[in-house]
Amino acid sequence: MIWHNGVYFVQCHVLAVKLTKIISLFNQAGGVAKSTTAQNLGYHLSIRRHRVLLIDIDPQGSLTTFMGLEPADLEKTIYDALVSESDEPIPIHRDLDGIDLAPANILLANAEQELIFAELREFRLKEILAPLLDSYDFILIDCPPSLGILSQISLVASTHVLVPIQCQFKALKGTDSLLKTVARVQRKLNRSLKIAGFFPTMYSASNSLDQRTLESIREQLSSLATIFPPPTSCYSSGRSS
Ligand SMILES: Nc1ncnc2c1ncn2[C@@H]1O[C@H](COP(=O)(O)OP(=O)(O)OP(=O)(O)O)[C@@H](O)[C@H]1O
Ligand SMILES: [Mg+2]
């Protein structure tokens, strides 16, 4: 029952916070299709009329490139908002085929160093995302291939983590450290972080090695979270090419 304007406001705000799903695409292994998955998931969600913001938090700027921007040409990126001491808003490129993007470029590599001494640095991304929550249904964060501070602040800011996992022989190598990192964040910094699931990528149904790898992934990880069916095709739509 709502009997006060203030309560009503708080309820609406909490509802908005709860409704915005913030999903980190996270795996410290390189080249497992994190950026490709972020882009494709973003498009599929936007086709279903969800309001989607992609955040590129990788200094390589792959997602930025996939979305058709040239990282080196950008004057403002997520880096500026992260290190700003004057509440600089996140720079957003709007409506790139129906999706918004906060881009990154190589300057973001400096943030690792610059944030070391920042107060409450683990909450920095969460803090700068807060004003955007009412505007989006989904915020997808494309993490770099590392367990460093940029991945950590992404996990702290997220409601969910989705782990793309490449269907090849060393797919499960490093899963322990990945899960430990997620568990540490859940324990100390973000109790409500959930593992949305593992998403097998680059799977070829006709390849027996891929089939065996997928079986191992299911055997070893299905007790922890959902193993999504691998997509038949997971290529970048290649806006930039
Ligand atoms: N299903 C697929 N089949 C073949 N190649 C793919 C597939 N999905 C993605 N790729 C390609 O694999 C490469 C790595 O993909 P992507 O950049 O998405 O991985 P990543 O995990 O984000 O890499 P990084 O760890 O460097 O950020 C890209 O060239 C991409 O186009
Ligand atoms: Mg990437």
CATH number corresponding to 16-221 = 3.40.50.300
pLDDT at residue number 233: 53
Query: What mean pLDDT comes out for the span 56-72?
Result: 98
- Give yes or no for residue 204 CB within 6 A of ligand 1: no
Please list all protein residues whose beta carbon sits less than 5 angstroms from ligand 2, which is an ion. Answer: 34-35, 62
- Give yes or no for residue 175 CB within 6 A of ligand 1: no
Instruction: For residue 23, give the H/E element and its range.
Output: strand 21-25
- The DSSP code for 171 is T
**The model scores a pTM over 0.85:** yes
pLDDT, averaged across the chain: 89
- Give yes or no for residue 22 CB within 6 A of ligand 1: no
- Give yes or no for residue 104 CB within 6 A of ligand 1: no
Q: Which residues pair with 162 in a beta bridge?
A: 25, 197
Non-local (6+) Cβ contacts of 113 within 8 A are: none
Provide the terminal-to-terminal Cα distance of the chain, rounded to the nearest Å.
Answer: 54
Q: What is the pLDDT of residues 145-188, one digit of tens each?
A: 999 999 999 999 999 999 999 998 788 888 999 999 999 999 99
Map out the domains of the chain as residue ranges.
16-221
